Structure formats: structure tokens, C-alpha cells
Amino acid sequence: MVDRKSSPIGRELGDPAPRPRRSSDGHRSRRSRSSAGGRSLNGNSRRSTGYTLQRRSMNYGQRSGVADQIRSRGLMPIIAGVAALAVIGLLIFGISSCVRGCSNQAETQQQATVGSASGDGRVSASASEALVKKLEPALNRADAIQWIAKNTDRYPSEKIVQLAVDEPDAIDFVRAYPDADKSARAYGSDSIDSIPSVYDWDERWGNVDYNGLPLAVSGSGPTCLSMAYMGLNSKTDKTPADMAALATNVGGAGGEAGTQGTFFTSVAGDLGLSINKLEDLSNDSIAGSITNTSPVLCQIKGSSFGHGPHWVLLIACDAADNVTVYDPTCVEVTTRTWPMATITSSCAEAYLVYKAG
């Protein structure tokens, strides 16, 4: 029978190992790793099980942290792939941004070229030159109106400012008025073969003072008489400014319409004209008096026709009693015909004008 106490197998089955002897200096003597009865810590013997687990625990503790665990689990290729994809994405984003930037820059340069070609910085650079040309007159008027609004204190009467509001064609005149020369100029041609259509605010005479105001807003009477004179006499030597001076000299300036009707009859002979007052202001009377060689001076009441009380010149009347009216205060009235009934309903007095002799 085997002695279990002395057998190594017996010790493995649970018998306590013999106590080590104390050395002479009082300490326990450790079993030598190289003793005949021992096994290597790295050996395969069951005796070394406890040491082996401890050894593995120490081995994990000696690895280089998270990076070593990632390597051991095979994650490095995945991370490398993600990083590569990120780099590729950044490259694609950078390239697309560059393309968009270059495209926008080219478009901006192209638009700037169009804008510079148009020569008007008030219009979008994308506008065609044809559109710019169409917009420029309205833009110029808008700029002038804005200046007028900011400088109303430079005008002697609000009527001048109101003229710019009522008549777009007069805006340039009103804008220039504060600094304009207040003297008159000639009509510009020596002869004329028909009655011309002219306006009070013409820069050739509109700045001249008449009846305490610029002729531009007060001279409808002198302007109408000048139109009749030039057309019937084929002369241009008597402009509205000349007629305004004549009215002032003979006391014909004044009244609700700016010029008294008696002024026309008083100066007719000196102008080579015959001017007769019409007592009958009916449609038939006025329509029958108007011919190409005999216009009618008509004073319009109130603001029912044009801008307030003023004078107009009736030039012609067709078979349907539509009248051609030269209104020196209003472009809209002048550029269309009007029913005779509209004229007579607004007419305060009328004078037939024709060439004398």
C-alpha cells in the first residue's frame, strides 16, 4: 500500500504539504525553484495551477493599455478605414466648395461686366443694356424728385414743387430752378408753319417771373397767346416770356387764371392779330368758330380740366365735335382730343383769334 502522506499524489489530493523548516536565523526557508521535488512555474503540472493563473493576471496587467486591447481585438483596420473615409469626404467637400466658389466668382465677374457696360450703378448688374436705357429716365426723375423734396426751402412757392408732382415732364425744370438763370431765351428757329405746342415750364422762358411767380406756374395766358401768334404769323420772335412782359406792361397780368381776358383784345393789333370775345359759349358756337386758321383762347374754370383755373388754346374740332386742345399746363390734356361738351362745361370765357387783314 502506498503511503499517501509521503506520496506527491497524496499531497495533490488534499493532504497538507509539509511545513518548511526554519533556518537557523529564524526565517522560513523558501523552496528553491530548482529543487528535485518542485516544478517550473511555467510547467504543465497540476501543482502549478495557482501560479499559472496569477501569472496570466500579471501578463494582462503588463500590456500597453487600450491600444493593445484594440490591436488584440482587430479594430485597427476598422479605425483606419473610417479615417480614410473621413479624409476622402473632406477632400470631396473641399473640391465642391472650390468649384462653387469659382463658379460664383465667375458669375459675379460676368454680372459686373454687364453692369459696368451699362454705365449705371443704380441698375442691377444683371439688367440688359436695353432695359437700363428704359429705366434711366424714370430713375433720373426719381433722383430729381428726391432732391426737390429735400430742398423745398429753396423754392419761392410750393406751386413750383407741386408742378414736379403733377407733371413728370416738368421734373427736370423744377430740379434746376433754384440755381437756374432767370432770364429768357429765344425760341430757337426763325420761322414756323403751324401752331406749336409748348409748355409754361419750358426752360427757355419758364424761369422768368410773371405775376409774382415763375412763368412756369403762372403764365398760361401769355403762353397760349404766343402759340397763336407764332402759328398764325409764322414768326417766333414773340415767346411766352415776351408776351408775359407785354401783359405786365399793359396791366393784363392777374386775375384767377393769371391773365385777364381783356389783355388779349388790347394788344391784338400790335401783334398783327384780330381777337374777338365769343359771347356764345355753346358747343355749336365754339365748334363753328374753330378752324386751322382761327384757334380759340379759352379760360378753364377751377380744376375741372387740367390744373386749376388757366388758359388753353383750342386748335381744331372734328366732325364728331372732338377738340384738339393745347394746354400749356398739362401734357395729358394736350396729347389727346376732348369732347366739345367737356370743354364748354368748363369754359369761363373764350376769344376767337385769327390773322389780321
Using one digit for the tens of pLDDT, what is the confidence trace for 235-289? 999 999 999 999 999 999 999 999 999 999 999 999 999 999 999 999 999 999 9
Q: How many helices (H) and strands (E) does the chain have?
A: 14, 8
CA distance 75 to 124: 58
Q: What is the pTM of this model?
A: 0.66
Residues 153, 127 contacting (CB under 8 angstroms): no
The position carrying cell 388753353 is 312
Contacts of 89 (CB under 8 A, 6+ apart): none
Handedness of CA 53, 58, 59, 64 (dihedral sign): positive
CA angle 70-71-75, nearest 5°?
60
Determine the pLDDT at residue 111. 43
Determine the pLDDT at residue 351. 98
Question: For residues 119 and 93, which has the higher predicted lDDT (pLDDT)?
Answer: 119
- pLDDT band of residue 96 (cuts 50, 70, 90) is low
- pLDDT band of residue 232 (cuts 50, 70, 90) is very high
Of the chain, the end-to-end C-alpha distance in Å amounts to: 178
Residues 230, 196 contacting (CB under 8 angstroms): yes
Question: For residues 82 and 302, which has the higher predicted lDDT (pLDDT)?
Answer: 302
Helical H runs in the chain?
Answer: 8-12, 49-61, 66-73, 76-118, 129-150, 158-166, 171-176, 215-218, 220-233, 240-250, 262-267, 283-289, 331-334, 340-346
Handedness of CA 200, 203, 205, 208 (dihedral sign): positive
Determine which of 10-24, 115-129, 225-239 has the lowest per-residue pLDDT on average. 10-24
Determine the pLDDT at residue 312. 97
Determine the pLDDT at residue 125. 87
Write the pLDDT tens digit of every residue in 12-55.
Answer: 434 444 444 444 444 444 443 333 344 343 444 444 444 343 44
Determine the pLDDT at residue 307. 78
Helical H runs in 167-210?
Answer: 171-176
